[in-house]
Amino acid sequence: MAHPHAVWPPALAPGARVALVAPAGPLGDAVELARAEANARALGWEPVVAPNAMARAGYLAGDDAARLGDLDAALRASDVDGVWCLRGGYGLMRILDRIDCDALAARPRALIGFSDITALHLAVAAHGPSADVKLVTFHGPTARGELTPFSRDSLARAVVAHVDSCGPAPGAVTLRGGRATGRLAGGNLAMLAALAGTPYAPRFDDAIVVLEDVTEPLYRIDRLLRQLVLAGAFTGCHAIVFGHCTDCPGQEGGEGHLSLADLVRDVADALGVPALLGVPVGHIAEQWTIPLGARAVVDADEPSLHVESPAP
C-alpha cells in the first residue's frame, strides 16, 4: 500500500504573524493571555490575538459560533502564518464538522497545540489536499503554557528550523524492544477514542503512535486503549510511544494490580511492535513537539525517537 506524502507548512521565521485562538476551553485570566503573547514574541513571532480569546461560556471559550469564527478566520486569513491554540480543555468536538480545513489545505500553515487539540489534528488529517498528500501539524505546547527551555527548543526545532524536535529519551522505559520507522500519529488518548466511529477516527497504519493523557484512572486508560483496538485503529501500526499519564491514579500498579506499563505492553505484544513509556510528551513541563504526519524512527532499546527532516 502507498503511504501519503507529508507536506510540511512553511517555517515560522522571525516576524511571522501567529494567530492565538481558543477553540476549546477558556483561559483562566488575562495573565495567561499575556503569557501567550510573550511566548510568541520570545520565538520571534508577532502574536495576533483572536477577538474571542478571553470569552467564556461555562467550560468553553465562548459559544460554538464564536470559537468557530475565530478559528476559521485564522485559517482563512492571508496575513496569518501560523495558528497556535491558547489551551486545550474541551470543545473542539462541538465544532469539528464545520471547521474550514480546506483553507488550511489550500495554504498550509503551522497548527500547534495538544490535549483536546488532538481533535483538530485529526480533522486536518482527514481533509488533506488529497488521499496521497497529508499536512504536517504540530502536537506541542499550548500558547498559554510556561515554556521551559527544553520545550521552547523542541518547538522551535519543529516549526522554525524543521529539524529533529525529539531525540534520546533517557527517562523512558522499554516495554517491548525493537526499532521501527513510520509516520507520527496520535495525541491525547481520550480524544482519539472519543472520535472512533466518526469521519475523524484515527487510523494508525504505517504509524509510530504517540499517546498521552491526564487525570484518567487506570481502568479508563485500559478501556480507551481497548476501544481503539476493537475499532481497528492500531491495525498496521509500527510502534507505540506513550508519553506521560499525568495525575492518573493507580498507574504504578503494585501487588495484584495492573500498571500503565502492563496495559501498553499488552497492546504492543498483541501487535508485535516496539513500545516505550515515559517519553517527554503530555501534560508535563518539559515536552517534545511532535510533527504529526512526518516520518520518524523509534528505537525502543536505546531509547529514542528521531524525526526525519523534510526534503529540501
Hey, what domains does the chain have and what are their CATH numbers?
5-161 (3.40.50.10740), 167-307 (3.50.30.60)
Q: Mean pLDDT for the chain? A: 95
pLDDT in tens, 189-240: 999 999 999 999 999 999 999 999 999 999 999 999 999 999 999 999 999 9
Residue 121 is a catalytic residue: no
Alpha-carbon torsion, ordered 312, 74, 135, 211, to 10 deg:
110
Distance, CA of 243 to CA of 214 (rounded, Å):
11
Q: Of 309, 192, 310, which is closest to residue 242 (Cα–Cα)?
A: 192
Distance, CA of 153 to CA of 162 (rounded, Å):
12
In this prediction, residue 3 carries a pLDDT of 65
In this prediction, residue 129 carries a pLDDT of 62
Residue 115 is a catalytic residue: yes
Cβ contact 273:239 at 8 Å: yes
- Evaluate if residue 1 carries a pLDDT over 60: no
In this prediction, residue 257 carries a pLDDT of 81
What is the rounded average pLDDT of the residues 164-174?
A: 98
In this prediction, residue 131 carries a pLDDT of 60
In this prediction, residue 255 carries a pLDDT of 66
Catalytic residue among 32, 139, 154, 212: 212
Catalytic residue among 32, 115, 139, 154: 115
Residue 3 is a catalytic residue: no
Q: Can you give the pTM of this predicted structure?
A: 0.96
In this prediction, residue 127 carries a pLDDT of 83
pLDDT in tens, 67-112: 999 999 999 999 999 999 999 999 999 999 999 999 999 999 999 9
pLDDT in tens, 25-83: 999 999 999 999 999 999 999 999 999 999 999 999 999 999 999 999 999 999 999 99
Catalytic residue among 127, 162, 283, 304: 283
